Structure 1
């Protein structure tokens, strides 16, 4: 079974269940890619065919008799189809036991994983953690994501996006899966970017970016566009947005970062209209809204419990 066929079978089961808005958005992105519409149509037909076969009918068809051997073979095929459908449904239900992370088109989603890694998803991305005893693997679907990876020498951290695999131990990097060719940017530490299932790989240094096509990974040049970009808005509308996501956004546009005195503060929900360009003013507003203290230190602004 090819990768497209396997993904199509998974989507056929997921979309027949109770898909979330994030599921639907991710499905539309997947379905629009070349060849995926045909693969999904085939998977839908297979699923409908398997669902139409009752256990009694399959058992009756599978009993040996004097009719042509083709009937027996057809019954075996039916049993296999039903088994595949049931097995896939069980597999998807088992995977759904792991926390799935999702983000809306404009508001980032953030989650701290069991190993201490922080994942921030943007632009409608969603991801599936698939941790084992030997590795920490996450599948990224669409959008963009930033990974602040907790160090664990015994279990490498691997992000799969399209045909790319990005492997790290403890570092900060971003993956952009909005296009057909995934792009990876290293912020801190070191990562290996690989074409999945091959030995074609390159290692990035902080500040470097790469893209991964079916021909392999390629280092991207550091280019400055001659076209002036419009000024990005720094106003943020928050509706029960985690404090950690607001701090993350503010720290991207301010020289002096905002730090949290207690990691648990990152999960505090907050609602309001904030200008994230002025870190000191933002910290005071957040402190007043959440009953916290804001201490301006030489190298950071500290938000802490009173």
Structure 2
């Protein structure tokens, strides 16, 4: 099949999924299509990005200017280190994983920290012990801390999709620099851009973006 035909199919899938009208059978068909050819994953990612930037992005403004210094906390969190800017969009990200490097475990204080990463051109789907699912887009690196008291991720590079299991007693937190995205049970993507900029994409539910230098900003699906 030609690359142009694959790109057209990917665009059709993105439009169908984003419409919210896709049936469970169509979701399964999309999974099979993504699994059939590695080119399908790249085409779907490109189509999602075009759809995102052409129609859905909504800037949160300059209030998320953050210092460039790295976090040196003694207890890394289930966090996404956010950066200089943010946007909220409704978007369905890739949820089909390929094989990748094995996790690397370490410890800080009393917590076990697991380092996860995907290679260039890979997409990894990783179920977590709390019932959440983490999907790493290409060339992405995160650190994970999951305990009975907290659920936190730190994004070192790249982009990931979080399908968060509901647990009101343990909010799910993603950090980048001194900004965090907080959720209880929802689905959202965080992408770390150049110059430590941040893009937040809410698929369903609601999250809250918090920063030491700005008022908290609630984001939800369909927000423009």
TM-score under structure 2 normalisation? Answer: 0.49
Larger relative helix fraction: 1
Return the structure number with greater relative CO, CA threshold 8 A, min gap 6: 2
TM-score under structure 1 normalisation? Answer: 0.37
